[in-house]
Amino acid sequence: MKKLLYPIIIGLLAVVLTACGSNDEADKKNDEKETKTTEKETAKATEEQQKQMEEMQKKLDKQKVDEKKTVAIVNDEKISGAEYNTVLSTTQMQMQQFGQDPTSKEGAKQIKEQTLNSLVGQTLLLQAADKKGYTASKAEIEKQLAEIKKQYESEEKFKAALKQAGLNSEMLNAQIAENIPYTKYVEKEIKVEEATDEEIQKYYDQVAEQAKTSGQKVQKLEEMKPQIKEQLEQQKKQEKLVKHVEELQKNAKVDINI
């Protein structure tokens, strides 16, 4: 499977009702009556929300393709519909997190383009990593799998998260086995210069100004410097990585079939 390991994010909505009592018996009865009314209203609202979520999921599922279909061919390497659907789901979720509608005409078009670009780019990078001889040992795969499992309280919750993401253990291991060579390739082949003090200061000034405007407390530069430095360098690497993929694509044969 030619796709990178995406973080498995599962969000749960919880509605918590707290009823406050009173020593006065009359107040207590009124409170009980109000609580029952509130519970009914909340139950109705939850039911409506559930229906909306189910309707949204039906629309999202319509964007999926046949899992056995070849959606693209990159240098004679086929990308399946199953791979497309997995990345599609992640892209849909990301768009929703930014408050955008992935089921709108424009949103659906954008998601399709992003999913295909992501898959093609990832495949090209994995092919480049393979040519350079980057591999993943069994010990490295097991170590990364253990780190992922640590994020979950139990094996049951881990398996539930896999199912929610449309994955199984075999698929996850395959993704990890490809993610490791990819990570090694990016770290070794995509070099960027360290963030300068001037760049860090400029970024800090922008963050501090935004914090002041919103009435938030501004941390000192010394406290934020390591975080800002890392963020700026990651941004530089991402920009360079995009350009690198564009260069790889110039010499690649890419056929899109959807």
Spans of the chain below 70 pLDDT? 1-37
Give residue 6's pLDDT.
Answer: 39
Give residue 32's pLDDT.
Answer: 62
Give residue 7's pLDDT.
Answer: 35
Contacts by residues 171-176 (CB-CB < 8 Å, ≥ 24 positions apart): 171/1, 171/86, 172/5, 172/145, 172/148, 173/141, 173/145, 174/1, 175/1, 175/3, 175/4, 175/5, 176/5, 176/136, 176/141, 176/144, 176/145, 176/148
Q: Which distant-in-sequence residues (6+ apart) come within 8 Å of 35 by Cβ? A: 17, 19
Phi first, then psi, for residue 252 (nearest 5°) are -110, 160
Give residue 29's pLDDT.
Answer: 55
Give residue 44's pLDDT.
Answer: 77
3-state SS record for the chain: CCCCCCCCCCCCCCCCCCCCCCCCHHHHHHHHHHHHHHHHHHHHHHHHHHHHHHHHHHHHHCCCCCCCCEEEEECCEEEEHHHHHHHHHHHHHHHHHCCCCCCCHHHHHHHHHHHHHHHHHHHHHHHHHHHCCCCCCHHHHHHHHHHHHCCCCCHHHHHHHHHHCCCCHHHHHHHHHHHHHHHHHHHHHCCCCCCCHHHHHHHHHHHHHHHHHCCCCCCCHHHHHHHHHHHHHHHHHHHHHHHHHHHHHHCCCEEECC
Q: Give the predicted TM-score (pTM) of the model.
A: 0.70
Compute the distance between CA of residue 238 and CA of residue 230 in angstroms, rounded to an integer: 12
Structure token digits, residue 249: 């694509």
Compute the distance between CA of residue 34 and CA of residue 47 in angstroms, rounded to an integer: 20
